[in-house]
Amino acid sequence: MDGVETLQQEALGAVSAAFTTAELRELELKYLGKSGLISGLMREIGKLSAEERPAFGQKVNAARATVQAALDERVEALKGGELDARFGAERIDITLPSRPWRSGLQHILDQTTDRVKACLCGLGFEFVEGPELEQFAYNFDALNYPPDHPAMDEQDTFYVDAPGLSDKSDTSDLSDKGPPDRLVLRTQCTAIQGRTFEKRQPPLRIFTVGRTFRNEAVDRTHGHTFHQVDAFMVDEGVSMAHLKGTLGAFVRAMFGDEVKVRFRPDFFPFVEPGVDYAISSPKLFGGRWVELGGAGLVHPKILQNYGIDSEKYTGFAFGLGLERIPMMATGVDDLRHFLENDLRFLEQFR
């Protein structure tokens, strides 16, 4: 009986001296747990006589109840203070400015693509897409390329061995320069012409924007991967005047209302006559003429290859490198910056 009283007083003293609820949890395990000092006294009951056992059991249970009540009371007393301390430590000053959200930004080439689409769609052109892994026939044969054209050289084109992936379209009547199912990474978005003429008849106003690939030395003005805008229109009575008017509206939308367009004769296999076109603006390049791309009237042979009456229908086509638009508008002089994912460069165009 004296041992029970001693442990009870010891436990009550420890509870009074505790300053945290964590300490109280440890004391509860120490004295009242399954193997605690007070609970463990019940294992001694077998050593007592039958007459002593009831009184001893009652004494132990009373001690447990007393200590448990003291623990509960002390927990309630400490809990409020601990919560206040925790809330104080975690207090937020709502008068401080918030942390800025980290947000993404649209890539400058995507911004330029959106502007191109808005302009050409506004002029009545329809946006279409073609595959980047293209058939040899659409990339070259359908566009009237002669066998000795420099672009046919293995050094300029990425040829791809992919048996079973080729579309077995019947292009044998176009040329015998290469197997119609041979695959290349498209060197120009103009490949969309053959795919369109194969399925649709004039009148047509079509444009596309996409990635192209050429096996060229990578330097400030060239890269193995770049983007192109390519557009064409086929209808009755289409002339160079329509081409010049369309290009004028396009470059003014891209560079400002002061821009002028100049044509000079040039050769491209898929147009006749062919021209390169340059632009001039007092706000850009010191007013000098700068070449932007190539254009011309769609070659009659291309129309005839797809069963389009070249006596009734004529058309124009033009293309340019998409990167040239932001390069010329902002003074960027290195094509490689656009694909290097350097945030210091890209965030200038937020």
pLDDT at 307 over 90: yes
**Which one has a higher pLDDT value, 99 or 113?**
113
pTM more than 0.75: no
Amino acid at 10: E
Q: Give 282-293 pLDDT, tens digit per residue.
A: 888 778 899 999
- Cα–Cα distance for residue pair 98/279, rounded to 1 Å: 47
| Residue partners of 217: CB distance under 8 A and separation at least 6 | none
Give residue 172's pLDDT: 41
Chain centroid, CA 124 distance in Å: 29
What's the full length of the chain, in residues? Answer: 350
Chain centroid, CA 121 distance in Å: 24
pLDDT at 173 over 80: no
pLDDT-derived band at 152, boundaries 50, 70, 90: low
Looking at every residue in the chain, the average pLDDT score rounds to: 85
Q: Give 72-95 pLDDT, tens digit per residue.
A: 888 888 787 877 777 778 888 888
- Cα–Cα distance for residue pair 349/169, rounded to 1 Å: 43
Amino acid at 113: T
Which residue, 70, 302, 331, 310, is CA-closest to 190?
A: 302
In this structure, of 107-111, 128-132, 201-205, 329-333, the range with the lowest mean pLDDT score is 329-333
In this structure, of 57-61, 123-127, 210-214, 244-248, the range with the lowest mean pLDDT score is 57-61
